[in-house]
């Protein structure tokens, strides 16, 4: 699978989650200060990378960041600058690895290996969280998730199916396509999306670059679900402009949560603020050079 074509991982529901995971020995990697770990989930070895900033004290926040379809954990962490952000802002960064570059996002259509194989990605993430809480100085009240594209779709699913595990989540260029979301409460949401995304269209459906011509729900499906679950005040919102091509609408909710939607005018399928990849250049995908999504995402998460 190729991330440049926007292959957003699998989508299949009805998985029973394996909450108990066997931890394997840590293998330290010199590249980028990342530690490689693996756990067993239902008889399958699953891998993830961990970055712990030097001098980090006890009860540190933790961000789990999920790569897009066709991508990989290490490349996502370095290309977006999340590794450097962890050092700057003082949080533990966890980069889970999708099987064959894909995620099972819980949708009806099956795009990507993880969906077709009905892999238990929710159980995988639950095992990663348990492992990190047992082995690292993580504050259990400050656990966050963020994802790009298929990783963002998985992030929505995690918020739906792992209640109480996350204080806030952030999605970039994804959508909430999980079949079942019994309700989200006390979870703040940030969603960043380009108005001209041809992989995962803002208004839903299939775009010119959608994987296997898959049809996705509109962005507002997730926004409305979180607003309802967090009991956001109807009509009470503010609008900010963090960059010249980006505006954000922020809704205040019942227990201090916020639901925020940032739209990049003319933006394509991209993580704003980093150089355009070759596939984006070839397809004239606009990647905002003004809006730093990495800083905005991490500041949003850590503020909750």
CA 217 – CA 166 distance, rounded (Å): 23
**Is 216 in contact with 205 (CB distance < 8 Å)?**
yes
CA 90 – CA 198 distance, rounded (Å): 35
Token output for 48? 């993830």
At 121 the pLDDT is: 98
At 2 the pLDDT is: 37
- Closest among 85, 25, 21, 24 to 51, alpha carbons compared: 85
CA 77 – CA 66 distance, rounded (Å): 9
At 110 the pLDDT is: 81
- Say how many C-beta atoms besides its own lie within 10 A of residue 33's C-beta: 17
At 27 the pLDDT is: 41
Quick: pLDDT tens for 181-210. Answer: 987 899 999 999 999 999 999 999 999 999
Confidence bin at 22 (pLDDT 50/70/90): very low
Confidence bin at 58 (pLDDT 50/70/90): confident
- Say how many C-beta atoms besides its own lie within 10 A of residue 134's C-beta: 9
> Where in the chain does DSSP place strands (E)?
22-23, 27-28, 35-41, 44-51, 60-66, 92-96, 138-148, 168-172, 188-194, 237-243, 246-252, 258-264
Q: In sequence order, which residues have a C-beta less than 8 Å from that of residue 20 and are 6 or more positions away?
A: 127
| Mean pLDDT of the region 13-42 | 58
| Mean pLDDT of the region 157-167 | 96
Instruction: Give the strand pairing for 237-243 and 246-252.
Output: antiparallel
**Is 202 in contact with 175 (CB distance < 8 Å)?**
no
- Closest among 264, 302, 254, 301 to 285, alpha carbons compared: 264
CA 124 – CA 210 distance, rounded (Å): 26
| Mean pLDDT of the region 157-177 | 97
Quick: pLDDT tens for 93-145. Answer: 999 999 999 999 998 778 889 998 999 999 999 999 999 999 999 999 999 99
- Closest among 266, 264, 268, 258 to 293, alpha carbons compared: 264
The domains found in the chain, sorted by start residue, are 3-302 (3.40.50.1820)
CA 149 – CA 199 distance, rounded (Å): 9
């Amino acid at each position: 699978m190729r991330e440049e074509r926007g292959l957003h991982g699998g989508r299949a529901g009805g998985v029973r989650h394996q909450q108990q995971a066997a931890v394997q020995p840590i293998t330290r990697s010199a590249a980028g200060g990342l530690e490689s770990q693996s756990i067993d989930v239902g008889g399958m070895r699953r891998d993830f990378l961990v970055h712990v900033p030097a001098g980090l004290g006890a009860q540190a926040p933790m961000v789990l960041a999920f790569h897009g379809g066709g991508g990989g954990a290490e490349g996502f962490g370095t290309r977006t600058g999340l590794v450097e952000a962890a050092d700057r802002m003082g949080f533990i960064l966890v980069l889970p690895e999708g099987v064959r570059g894909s995620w099972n996002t819980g949708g009806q259509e099956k795009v990507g290996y993880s969906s077709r194989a009905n892999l238990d990605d929710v159980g995988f993430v639950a095992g990663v969280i348990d492992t990190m809480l047992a082995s690292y100085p993580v504050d259990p009240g400050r656990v966050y998730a963020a994802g790009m594209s298929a990783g963002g779709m998985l992030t929505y699913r995690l918020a739906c199916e792992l209640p109480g595990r996350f204080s806030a989540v952030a999605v970039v260029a994804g959508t909430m396509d999980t079949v079942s979301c019994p309700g989200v409460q006390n979870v703040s949401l940030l969603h960043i999306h380009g108005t001209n995304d041809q992989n995962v269209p803002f208004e839903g459906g299939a775009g010119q670059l959608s994987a296997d011509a898959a049809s996705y729900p509109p962005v507002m499906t997730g926004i409305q679900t979180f607003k309802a679950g967090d009991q956001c005040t109807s009509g009470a919102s503010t609008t900010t402009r963090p960059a010249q091509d980006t505006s954000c609408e922020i809704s205040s909710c019942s227990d201090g949560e916020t639901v925020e939607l940032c739209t990049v005018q003319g933006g394509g399928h991209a993580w704003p603020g980093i150089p355009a990849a070759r596939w984006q250049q070839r397809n004239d995908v606009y990647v905002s050079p003004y809006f730093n999504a990495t800083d905005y995402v991490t500041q949003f998460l850590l503020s909750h």
